[in-house]
Amino acid sequence: MKWKWTFLFTFCLGHLFSQKTLELRPVDVLDSNQVGLQSSFNIHFDSIAQEQINELDLLAFLSSRSSINFKTLGPGLLSTPTFRGGDANHTQLLWNGLKINSPMLGTIDFSTIPVSQFSDISIITGNSMNLYSSGGLGGGVLLEQSPDYKSDFIEIGQLVSSFGNYSTTARVNKNFKFRNKSLAFGLMSDIQTLSNRFLYQDISQTPYSSEVMNNASFTRRNISPMLSIPISKSINVTAIYWYNETSRSIPSAINTSPSIAQQEDVVHRSMGIIDYTPSNTFGLSYRAMYEDNVNAYSDTALSIDNSNDYQTVQNQVDAHIKPLKVLEIKGQVNHSYTQAVSKNYSEKKTNYTLGSMLKAEYSILKESVVFELGSRYTSFNEKNALLPFGGVSIKPISKIPISAFVSASQSARFPTLNEMYWSPGGNDSLQPERGQLLEFGLNYQTAYQELKVAFFNGEYSDRIRWLPDGGVFVPTNVNYSISKGIDLLFQQKVKIGAHRFIIGGNGQYINAQGGNSKTQTQALSFIPNYTANISLDYQYRQLGLRYTYSYFDKRFISNDESSYMPAYQLSSLAGKYSVTLSSAFSLNFTASVSNLFDWQYQNMPWRPMPGRFYSLKIALKWKG
């Protein structure tokens, strides 16, 4: 009972402090920028490009800040998400609004995606996903990248870590004039070289022995220049190129025969964006992307030497119009074409996707009640889906920033190229997986406090599973699943004199069941019932400290609820200190201890994870 009062007191205290003027610059900013539906549970992180982010990849960033769970084989190794009980290919990753999940696999490896390249990162649930794309039965992650017209900076950083791990970053944002035009240029790049020679305990037999991780090196070279030009007052043109190259050695699991497996991925992405915004009530945007993706895998022990390559062209037009103060209409038309080759396809394969979306937002009673209603239509290789979505959010008392929301949607994931054409087994008569999601909750938000809670219920049918057919596995629409749970997010900012504190966190409870029919379900494997992250930030003048704690519950690894991976908890502590060298130059030192209490754990069976490790980053920043 005392805890309830303590919580209430803290909340009230925070509200009291929030009446004062304070300018807090936290490590992460959760703000009110609207992404997704107002009537669903979404999280938005902004101003990332200007911050010192310790995490080297999207996996580390999201797993310490959200309820997206990851299956990871180890540092620098394959890491795929599961969101609200969905498969890895039910979480869509969008770069400036265009999908970058592999059309061959349906997934993307989050350990290959850097963080500091992006200005904003948002996590949206399945109900909001129809605004952007199909396929997000669990939800999606939106990466936003563009040069900033308001700031000039150059930053060069070097990170040194335990186990022979290094990372070099360079980030530039510069505004300049060219023939009387203002141009914004940005360059984000990083090179990671991880040896990953960490100690781990081999627990396959007693007595346990300490071993050094071998054959786990990882290199990532990532560079992304971008240029924005305002052609006129209402037209802005942006061009972005993103080169992402990863090279990794893939170690064997503990107690298995050592193999010599190597994976090399090279990705070129080019995007052009034209924004036409003549007024606040009308806007048009066209974006096009070309992606060339080469994924080469070799295992000399098993005589595997394969390359899976694809090229994708995407075009998308977005429009919004606000004919009335209380009515806003958004629309989208997109098209994508993919061609892919693989040694496991009989020939070059192609697919076409055509999609459109229309959504209306109507508010009444001085915007205290907002209705959102829309539908997405997707056509994929002559298969179609009409996916309605909508919701209502109600703010009952205008002076208190609390709102209640409810939303629902239908979603669909079309089969991947591998599911259709893999030889042997590919099945080109597969139907799309279908989802129905309902969520409702509360949202309280001020400049200093944020509390979001949502209850969700998702039902998914025709899930595709690879089933044996006389020794050959064939993807089949067979599975049903249901996910119910609660998502929670909170943040409290407090300032006492020059001391600034932020306590924040998120948590999820989920009961995800699946099986061949509604009447025969069991817990889905690799989905923990409970996950939680708590962070405490402290800032005093040039000094910043951040403590994070993550809890990852036990999860079954078999479909009969008999085998499981134990729960684990991780803590980390990071300190940051800025030295002002001149009015323009500063030197930032960041020191961190990850896995502070040296917790021994495995995320996936027999895949060692590092114990405590140390990192030191020095970054020189020029700010114009």
User: What is the contact surface with other proteins in residues (CB under 8 A)?
Assistant: 201, 203-206, 208, 252-258, 299, 301-304, 465, 467-472, 525, 549, 557-560, 562-566, 568-569, 571, 596-602, 605-606
Q: Please tell me whether residue 34 adopts helix, strand or coil conformation.
A: coil
Q: What is the DSSP string of 495-542?
A: EETTEEEEEEEEEEEEEEEEEEETTEEEEPTT--SEEEEEEEEEEETT
- Whose Cβ is closer to other proteins: residue 11's or residue 551's? 551
Determine the Cα–Cα distance for residues 269 and 291; give it in Å rounded to an integer.
Answer: 4
- Whose Cβ is closer to other proteins: residue 120's or residue 553's? 553
Determine the Cα–Cα distance for residues 562 and 260; give it in Å rounded to an integer.
Answer: 32
The residue assigned the tokens 């497996």 is 261
- The Cα angle at residue 106 between residues 348 and 103, in degrees rounded to 5: 30
Which residues make Cβ contacts (< 8 Å) with residue 342, sequence separation at least 6?
Answer: 104, 306, 307, 308, 309, 418, 422
Give least dist CB 554 to other proteins, A.
8
| Phi, psi of 294, deg, nearest 5 | -120, 125
Give least dist CB 519 to other proteins, A.
15
Q: Please tell me whether residue 63 adopts helix, strand or coil conformation.
A: helix
Q: Please tell me whether residue 414 adopts helix, strand or coil conformation.
A: coil
Give least dist CB 483 to other proteins, A.
18
Determine the Cα–Cα distance for residues 373 and 360; give it in Å rounded to an integer.
Answer: 5
Give least dist CB 569 to other proteins, A.
7
- Whose Cβ is closer to other proteins: residue 596's or residue 618's? 596
| Dihedral over Cα of 539, 119, 193, 619: its sign | negative
- The Cα angle at residue 136 between residues 135 and 141, in degrees rounded to 5: 130
Give least dist CB 305 to other proteins, A.
11
- Whose Cβ is closer to other proteins: residue 208's or residue 614's? 208
- Whose Cβ is closer to other proteins: residue 250's or residue 417's? 250
The alpha carbon of 267 is separated from its chain's Cα centroid by a whole number of angstroms, namely 18
- Whose Cβ is closer to other proteins: residue 168's or residue 516's? 516
According to DSSP, the β-strands at 139-144 and 91-95 are parallel
Give least dist CB 163 to other proteins, A.
18
Buried b (16+ CB within 10 A) or exposed e, 332-357: bbbbbebebbbeebeeebebebebeb
Give least dist CB 520 to other proteins, A.
11
- Whose Cβ is closer to other proteins: residue 397's or residue 496's? 496
Which residues make Cβ contacts (< 8 Å) with residue 290, sequence separation at least 6?
Answer: 268, 269, 270, 311, 312, 313
- Whose Cβ is closer to other proteins: residue 206's or residue 232's? 206
- Whose Cβ is closer to other proteins: residue 207's or residue 497's? 207
The alpha carbon of 116 is separated from its chain's Cα centroid by a whole number of angstroms, namely 13
- The Cα angle at residue 418 between residues 607 and 93, in degrees rounded to 5: 65
Which residues make Cβ contacts (< 8 Å) with residue 308, sequence separation at least 6?
Answer: 104, 295, 296, 297, 340, 341, 342, 344
Give least dist CB 550 to other proteins, A.
12
Is the peptide bond prior to 207 cis by the omega test (within 30 degrees of 0)?
yes
- Whose Cβ is closer to other proteins: residue 58's or residue 523's? 523
- Whose Cβ is closer to other proteins: residue 414's or residue 556's? 556
- Whose Cβ is closer to other proteins: residue 199's or residue 288's? 199
Give least dist CB 565 to other proteins, A.
6
DSSP 103: T
Give least dist CB 10 to other proteins, A.
13
